[in-house]
């Protein structure tokens, strides 16, 4: 949407036909004629976006363009969700992903920057508050401290054992060691572990797999 300002004079030419504002995965935007086929294959953006209402200021007009563009992007997202057979959980995940980024309207009006500043100030305030609370906390009895230390040592030992077990695990595809920050999946047939990226399985896709077969087990044919 940041490139829309370059097209303002072009938009306001009344002799132009009714145009639409299209967005592309490359984050580029283009003003063009609508699709000729009826109905179109994809949801179409608002027609006649290049005509501003009489007496409308440039800022208000750009905000209106942004609102229509947001509505079109939402229509595109849930159109593909329907085409790919998204269920309730997938649609909720898609909606949450959309909400993690600011809308075009928020970027154009400057509300996105304001939200970032507010979040940073809130996080700083909560951080300073937690520090002050930690300083004001009264010392615990010695017996309670010893129990807490013992429990912590036991947890650390369990974590070390678990890390040692995973550290010895090798990916059945690339042969690399297990990494705590990587997604792994186990084959239910040969019980070998694989990097998700090596077998092209994501955590979201793994949730819908009842029994996973690695590529090697999937390619094995039953002997007569």
For residue 195, the tally of other CB atoms under 10 A from its CB is 19
**DSSP letter string over 119-144?**
HHHHHHHHHHHHHHHHHHPPPPPHHH
**Structure pTM?**
0.45
Q: Determine which helix (DSSP H) or strand (DSSP E) holds 65, and give its type and residue range.
A: helix 58-83
Residue 77 confidence (pLDDT): 92
Q: Answer yes or no: are the C-beta atoms of 5 and 58 closer than 8 Å.
A: no
Residue 97 confidence (pLDDT): 93
Euclidean distance between CA atoms 179 and 157, whole angstroms: 19
- Which segments of the chain have a pLDDT < 50? 1-7, 14, 136, 138, 140-141, 144, 222-224
Euclidean distance between CA atoms 94 and 86, whole angstroms: 9
Bridge partner residues of 20 (DSSP): 32
> For the chain, which residues make up each domain, given as ranges?
4-116, 162-218
* Residue 144 structure tokens: 């309670």
CATH 1.10.260.40 given to domain 162-218? no
Residue 224 confidence (pLDDT): 46
């Amino acid at each position: 949407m940041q490139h829309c300002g370059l097209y303002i004079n072009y938009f306001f030419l009344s002799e132009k036909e009714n145009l639409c504002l299209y967005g592309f995965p490359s984050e580029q935007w283009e003003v063009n004629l609508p699709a000729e086929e009826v109905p179109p294959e994809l949801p179409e953006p608002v027609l006649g976006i290049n005509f501003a209402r009489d007496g409308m200021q440039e800022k208000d007009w750009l905000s209106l363009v942004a609102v229509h563009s947001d509505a079109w992007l939402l229509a595109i997202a849930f159109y593909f969700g329907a085409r790919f057979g998204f269920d309730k959980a997938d649609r909720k995940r898609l909606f949450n992903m959309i909400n993690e980024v600011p809308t075009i309207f928020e970027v154009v009006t400057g509300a996105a920057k304001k939200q970032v500043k507010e979040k940073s100030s809130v996080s700083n305030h909560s951080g300073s508050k937690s520090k002050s609370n930690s300083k004001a906390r009264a010392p615990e009895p010695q017996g309670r401290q010893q129990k807490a230390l013992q429990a912590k040592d036991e947890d650390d030992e369990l974590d070390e054992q678990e890390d040692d077990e995973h550290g010895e695990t090798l990916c059945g595809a690339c042969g690399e060691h297990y990494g705590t920050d990587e997604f792994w999946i186990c084959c239910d047939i040969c019980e070998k572990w694989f990097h998700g990226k090596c077998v092209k399985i994501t955590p979201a896709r793994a949730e819908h797999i009842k029994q996973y077969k690695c590529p090697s087990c999937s390619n094995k044919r039953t002997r007569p």
